[in-house]
Structure 1
Amino acid sequence: MDRLVSIIVPVFNVEVFIKNCLESIIEQTYKKIEIIVVDDGSTDSSGIICQEFAVKDSRIKVYKKNNGGLMSAWVYGLNKAKGEYIAFVDGDD
């Protein structure tokens, strides 16, 4: 398979978990992915951590928006996705 997979990661105040979450996604064996991180108005350092990952891996795109809840973050990410397939991973997974 050589198709782009978009992985949407909604993030809201998950600074304790987001590093492990993003590392897990990056380390997958299938590499043709885009990782769309939607910072849904975090007030902790989640957004900063995500930006640091984006600097290291060009497949990661970080978008910041005002808090609108999980569904709002999913829809936002879907509108940015370019992949033929879509996956959702919660920031605290």
Structure 2
Amino acid sequence: MKSMQRVRVSVIILTYNRTDLIMEAIESVLAQTYTDYEIIVIDDGSTDDTAQVLRELIETGKIRYIWQENQGECAARNHGLRQARGEYIAFLDS
């Protein structure tokens, strides 16, 4: 993940209780040859082990992880948009 500088693309990944698929979604972005992006994971109030599964990526700064009370998909997308620094936005649901 880029530091606070501007990036070209913000990839916003929405998740809710998807520990079985969240890593696959993130890895699909990390595998791209294009690298001028940030990954923001918006956790819409998961009650499973989502944060634990993502701990290493969070600690190494490869993703920004934001947990919020469950408010639904629209609120999660809007939260991601407010956090994004990219010139372009790409949404990826887990």
Q: TM-score range by the shorter chain?
A: 0.7 to 0.9
The normalised TM-score by structure 1 is 0.87
The normalised TM-score by structure 2 is 0.87
Q: How big is the alpha-carbon RMSD for the aligned residues of Structure 1 and Structure 2?
A: 1.2
- Which consecutive unaligned segments of at least 5 residues does structure 2 have? 1-6
> Size of the alignment, in residue pairs?
88
Structure 2: how far apart are the matches of 1:90 and 1:50? 15
Percent identity among equivalent residues? 40
1:42 maps to amino acid: S
1:16 maps to amino acid: D
Tell me the equivalent position of 1:4.
8
Deviation at residue 4 of structure 1 after TM alignment: 1.5
Q: Which moved more, 1:43-52 or 1:13-22?
A: 43-52
Match 1:65 to one of 56, 68, 85: 68
2:67 aligned counterpart, secondary structure:
strand
Structure 2: how far apart are the matches of 1:53 and 1:59? 5
Question: Which of structure 1's runs of 4+ aligned residues deviate more than 4 A?
Answer: none
1:40–1:73 contact (8 Å) kept in structure 2: yes
Tell me the equivalent position of 1:20.
24
Residue deviations 1:40-88 (CA, integer Å, cap 9, x gap) = 10001112222322223x2410011000011110000000000000000
- Which consecutive unaligned segments of at least 5 residues does structure 1 have? none
1:6–1:85 contact (8 Å) kept in structure 2: yes
